[in-house]
Amino acid sequence: MPPRIRPTGRAAALVAGLLTVLAVTLPPAAATTSDKVALSLKDVPRTMVAYRADEGAEATNGDFQVPVAVVPGNKEPARNIKVVVDASGLKDIARVTEGGYGNCTGSGWVYTCSYGTLLNDGESNAPFDIVGLDGVEPGDSGTVTYTASADNAAPVTGTTRMVVGGPTLGAPGGETKVSGVKPGQPAALTPMFANHTTFPADRGVALHVRASDGLTLKARHSNCTYTGASSTSAWCVFPAGAAPGAAYRTSAPIVYVAGAEQLHGTLTYSWSASPEKHADHTVRGRGAPITLVPTADGTFGSTDGTVQVETTAQADYRPVTATVRGHVGDTVEVRLGVRALGPVTPRGNEVRGRFEVVPPEGTTVTSIPYAFEETDRDWGCDRPEEPGGAFVCDLEGEALSWAGEDDGTTTLVFHVRIDRQVAGARGTIRVYAPYDRTPGNDTAAIPLDASPAPAYRAVLRPVVWIPVTVAALVTLTALHRRHRRRAG
């Protein structure tokens, strides 16, 4: 080994001086690219129900997603982002197969997803489908690990715990209809369910109630949380759980209210044997908690229970009618339709209804013209299949959905030809509306006032002028022959 040479004296001073100059004059080391861009996996769920125990090997779940975001404040885009997902921690509770969506490839337990280049936004991919196994128990779990990286960002790693959920809890199938609910007054909903599996829901049971179309829920029960004091969503937890093969209902109803001008609303509810809390349900009820009590079993095989609510509010309509007036042979215009009397106006998906027109005897409807998207059209109502039938005019159809006036009327102009005089002839117009609770004003007459055809019109009719013309020709021919005989 050659001897190490140490600078001494003036040489040492020279080296030290050079180092000082270099330290002052050379630029600082460039910041690493990972200092400029950072990735985030904060939106990936930390816990997730993979499937329900009673589903076993028939379960398939493609809902697991890995959203990647760029942390705000970056100075450049994150380039060529990719995420490597390792699902080997699920081997005791599930298997994974190619599926999901996005730019993901892989096999076995490891999948890689490409996210491209992102500046300030995020992107999500679903790397695989989770397939269940037979023989699992509620609460069995495994872990998925994922690492996101980019060409110019440091890698970040996250994990999600996948849990085998409790048994499937079924709500009553079909829709239940409730009528007579008074707007502004409390009304009651009693949710029910059954556990038709062989597994107990021993981790507890959760009830999720959702109100829509103008209905709201009252925050009352202390084991329920709500999205507000008058909310459209409630989340109630029952720690006692549910036994296999048993059916239950709530010990007290969930209270809801319809708005003052609400005609119709919808309630839906679902049950879960995985009673996690919902972060957006921040208002807790102050009343006594509700519990679960046994009830008679039934057809409880639906995911959601649905209740259609009709209130006592009214959207009253009466017909707009007119007289068919003119001479025989005339085609006249008659404006027919409906007038909305309220006090409530249907909105959203609330059905407005229709009106039907039977024209007077002795007349023919030749067209019901309207314009749509700058195109003239001839029939704004469905024509009858047989003579004497009704023209059906849908208030939500193409011709009428936009035709409402400020005075509450919705009408079309009927072109009606008067074919003949019929003494006392009267057609009818009738309104059909689901929220019209005053049937006494739903029908009106369409009178016919037909005058005889003008004399000139009779002269011009072929049945008149053809015989006259023939007679004239015969007369002229006879005169011509007589003239020729005299001339000879």
- What's the pLDDT tens digit per position in 19-53? 343 333 333 333 344 468 999 999 999 999 999 99
Same domain, 181 and 158: no
CATH number at residue 220: 2.60.40
Which domain range does residue 412 map to?
Answer: 315-453
Q: What pLDDT score does 50 carry?
A: 96
Q: Which of 292, 311, 330 is the last residue of a domain?
A: 311
Residue 146: which region, alpha, beta or left (left: phi > 0; alpha: psi -120 to 50)?
beta
Q: Which of 269, 294, 311 is the last residue of a domain?
A: 311
CATH number at residue 154: 2.60.40.10
| Domain presence at residue 21 | no
Q: What pLDDT score does 275 carry?
A: 80
Q: How many CA atoms are closer than 13 Å to the CA of 134, on its beta-carbon side?
A: 2
| Domain presence at residue 30 | no
| Domain presence at residue 467 | yes
Burial of 110 (0-12, 13-18, 19+ CB in 10 A): middle
Q: What pLDDT score does 324 carry?
A: 98
Tens of pLDDT, residues 297-350:
888 989 899 999 999 999 999 999 999 999 999 999 999 999 999 999 888 778
| Domain presence at residue 211 | yes
Q: Which residues pair with 118 in a beta bridge?
A: 78
pLDDT band at 395 (very low <50, low <70, confident <90, very high): very high
What integer is the mean pLDDT of 438-465? Answer: 82
Q: Where are the alpha helices (DSSP H) in 10-138?
A: 10-25
| Domain presence at residue 25 | no
How many CB atoms within 10 Å of residue 122? 14
Position of tokens 């005989």? 485
Determine the Cα–Cα distance for residues 102 and 105; give it in Å rounded to an integer.
9
Same domain, 300 and 261: yes
Same domain, 75 and 186: no
Same domain, 446 and 465: no
Tens of pLDDT, residues 73-115:
888 999 999 999 999 999 999 999 988 777 899 999 999 999 9
Cis peptide bond upstream of 343, omega within 30:
yes
Q: What pLDDT score does 8 carry?
A: 42
Same domain, 70 and 157: yes
DSSP character at residue 440: G
Same domain, 396 and 347: yes
How many domains does the chain divide into? Answer: 4
| Domain presence at residue 235 | yes
Q: Could you tell me the sign of the dihedral formed by the alpha carbons of 369, 370, 375, 379, in that order?
A: negative
More confident: 279 or 474:
279
Q: What pLDDT score does 17 carry?
A: 43
Same domain, 48 and 156: yes
Determine the Cα–Cα distance for residues 124 and 29; give it in Å rounded to an integer.
35
What share of the chain has pLDDT > 90, as a percent?
A: 72
